[in-house]
């Protein structure tokens, strides 16, 4: 049996690898399941409410979304593209989500076109984290590739629990540099055949840890 690698990636997969390569192997190579966590289940439920409201399936804004009431009202009027799944090859060409050559996969909570500007929105629950900023540039890359007529992408993170928003504008002229950055960021993950553990404070919550009855020695 040959060595197994991670051959396709997403933002969440890359984050797992950055936290701990062995965790990424357990999840994405060995396909080991993690038990559901209350915070994740809550987040999924709130994301579903946001999806249903943006699609016009709910007439009244759910209380869980009230801190973004104005933004959701505007989003609903724009008839957004909701819960889209975008996939790209290693040559950055669009492909099918389940295609054998899918190399990068990006899921969006909402996206809408306004002339030659594309808005890409991600809904987040829980605390604001510094590493979320990387997601903004990946949305810009994916948006420009998916909609080549756009000249600008505005990537936004809506923190539904706190009412905060993080956003950033990207011009199409930045695309080659952003692509180069992501190739560099993911190079170690896509070439790794050892998946060495990276123990740290995060081990306390990892379902693969020794303390949780998992296969890891830490």
Residue 2 has what pLDDT? Answer: 45
Percentage of the residues of the chain whose pLDDT score is greater than 90:
91
Taken as a whole, the chain contains a residue count of 218
The Cα 135–Cα 120 span in angstroms is 11
The Cα 12–Cα 24 span in angstroms is 10
Would you say residue 73 has pLDDT above 60?
Answer: yes
Would you say residue 1 has pLDDT above 70?
Answer: no
Burial call 15-54: b when 16+ CB within 10 Å, e when fewer? ebbbbbbbbbbbbbeeeeeeeeeeeeeebeebbebbbebb
| CATH code, 11-212 | 3.90.320
Provide the whole-model pTM.
0.92
- Confidence band, pLDDT 50/70/90 cuts, at residue 30: very high
User: Is the alpha carbon torsion for 184, 185, 188, 191 positive or negative?
Assistant: negative
Give the tens place of pLDDT for each residue, 80-103: 999 999 999 999 999 999 999 999
Percentage of the residues of the chain whose pLDDT score is greater than 70:
99
- Give all strands (DSSP E) within the chain, no chain letters: 81-88, 94-95, 104-114, 117-124, 152-159, 164-171
Residue 36 has what pLDDT? Answer: 83
Averaged confidence pLDDT in the chain: 95
Rg (CA), the chain: 18
Question: Which residue from 18, 39, 16 is spatially nearest to 29, judged by alpha carbons?
Answer: 16
- List Cβ neighbours of 118 (8 Å cut-off, separation of 6 or more): 111, 112, 143, 144, 147, 150, 152, 153, 154
The Cα 176–Cα 94 span in angstroms is 16
Average of per-residue pLDDT across 49-62: 95
**Cα 67 to chain centroid, rounded:** 22
Longest dimension (CA), the chain: 55
């Amino acid at each position: 049996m040959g060595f197994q690698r991670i051959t396709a990636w997403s933002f969440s997969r890359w984050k797992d690898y950055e936290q701990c390569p062995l965790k990424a192997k357990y999840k994405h190579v060995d396909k080991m399941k993690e038990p559901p966590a209350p915070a994740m289940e809550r987040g999924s439920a709130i994301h579903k409410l946001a999806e249903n409201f943006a699609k016009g399936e709910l007439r009244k804004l759910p209380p869980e979304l009230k801190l973004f009431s104005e933004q959701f009202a505007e989003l609903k009027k724009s008839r957004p593209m909701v819960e889209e799944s975008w996939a790209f090859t290693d040559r950055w060409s669009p492909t099918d989500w389940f295609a054998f050559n899918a190399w990068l996969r990006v899921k969006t909570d909402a996206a809408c076109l306004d002339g030659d500007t594309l808005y890409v929105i991600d809904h987040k629950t829980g605390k604001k984290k510094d590493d979320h900023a990387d997601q903004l540039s990946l949305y810009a890359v994916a948006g420009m590739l998916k909609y080549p007529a756009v000249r600008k992408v505005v990537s936004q993170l809506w923190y539904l629990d706190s009412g905060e928003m993080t956003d950033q504008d990207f011009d199409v002229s930045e695309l080659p540099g952003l692509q180069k950055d992501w190739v560099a960021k993911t190079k170690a993950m896509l070439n790794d055949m050892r998946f060495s553990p990276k123990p740290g404070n995060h081990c306390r919550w990892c379902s693969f840890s020794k303390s949780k009855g998992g296969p890891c020695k830490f």
